[in-house]
Structure 1
Amino acid sequence: MKVFARVSIGGDPETGKRTMADKHGETDPAWNHTMTYTIGASALQHHGVRLVIKLYCKRKLGDRYIGEVHTSIKELFDHAYPYGGSALMNYPVHKGSVNSQGVLKFSYSAEYPCGADIL
């Protein structure tokens, strides 16, 4: 398996970014890939804005969807704030209504604008 991830904010294709396919990890892929997003302050006030990570297996006859993770941007910021803005998270990977297809672990850092009031 050559797995890659497509990441977006709220599933919006305009915010979409992707990793390279991991050619060696098989069913336990790993990426050392940095993605940068600028998030508006309103996304930190409620749980409606979500980070979407979709996993695919790269194939010659078309990429195969593996599953995805959704989490709120607010949850990510709230979790990282007490740790200086960085955190490591684990989320179950889901495909439709099927139970977890594994776990996606990722690290991230969040920078807050100067003078921002984080509640």
Structure 2
Amino acid sequence: MDCRKFEITLISATDLENVRILGKMKVHARVSLSGGAAANGFEKRSPTDKHGETNPAWNHTMRFAISESMVENFNTMLVVKLYCKRKLGDRYVGEIHTPVKELFDFARSSGGSAVVCFPVQQGCVNSQGMLRFSYKFGEKIMIDKLLLAESVAGLNLA
């Protein structure tokens, strides 16, 4: 099966809605790929920014292995959800959704990587700030080569 490495670096968010009544906002992100058969709702989490409040910065990189079919159709979505950490449970701040194919097509013209900003939405409410991230697609490879590379280099794509 053909697949690619997909790397996303969450850089920062700006002008998020303050969802705390008391205390400081401490924001983290949960990143997932949805809609593709191989995605299976797998989610990764960034560290919590404890200082930026409504303007958090992470500079945190996450790596995924995605099938070529996930890159080629508009059903696979990159979903980044932002949460404010609280003792009584995390509070939802907002999210972005974008098709992986659109990211791939946009990055193809610039060598396979790009830096982008997306408006953070809360349900159907208009923008609640901006999320900035960079991403990069690797070359198309066969899954057997990927498994070999993981075992030799000790890479953790999960």
CA 1:13–1:53: 2 relative to 1, 3 Å:
farther
Unpaired runs of at least 5, structure 2 = 1-24, 143-158
Equivalent residues, number: 115
Output aligned runs, 1:1-119, within 5 Å: 1-10=25-34, 14-113=41-140
Identify the structure with bigger relative contact order (alpha carbons < 8 Å, sequence gap 6+): 2
What's the secondary structure of 1:51's corresponding residue? Answer: strand
Structure 2 counterpart of 1:104, which letter?
L
- Once the two structures are superposed, residues 18-40 of structure 1 have per-residue CA deviations (whole angstroms, 9 ceiling, x without a partner) of 00110111110011111001111
Seq. identity, %: 57
Unmatched 5+ stretches in structure 1: none
- Structure-2 separation of matches of 1:14 and 1:101: 25
Alignment RMSD, CA only? 1.7
SS in 2 for 1:32: strand
Tell me the TM-score normalised to structure 1 length: 0.90
Structure 2 length normalisation: TM-score?
Answer: 0.69
Q: Distance in 2 between matches of 1:82 and 1:14?
A: 29
Runs of 4+ in 1 over 6 A off after TM superposition: none
Q: How much does 1:85 deviate?
A: 1.1
Give the number of the structure whose alpha-carbon radius of gyration is greater. 2
**What CA distance in whole angstroms lies between the structure 1 residues aligned with 2:141 and 2:109?**
17
Structure that is richer in strand per residue:
2
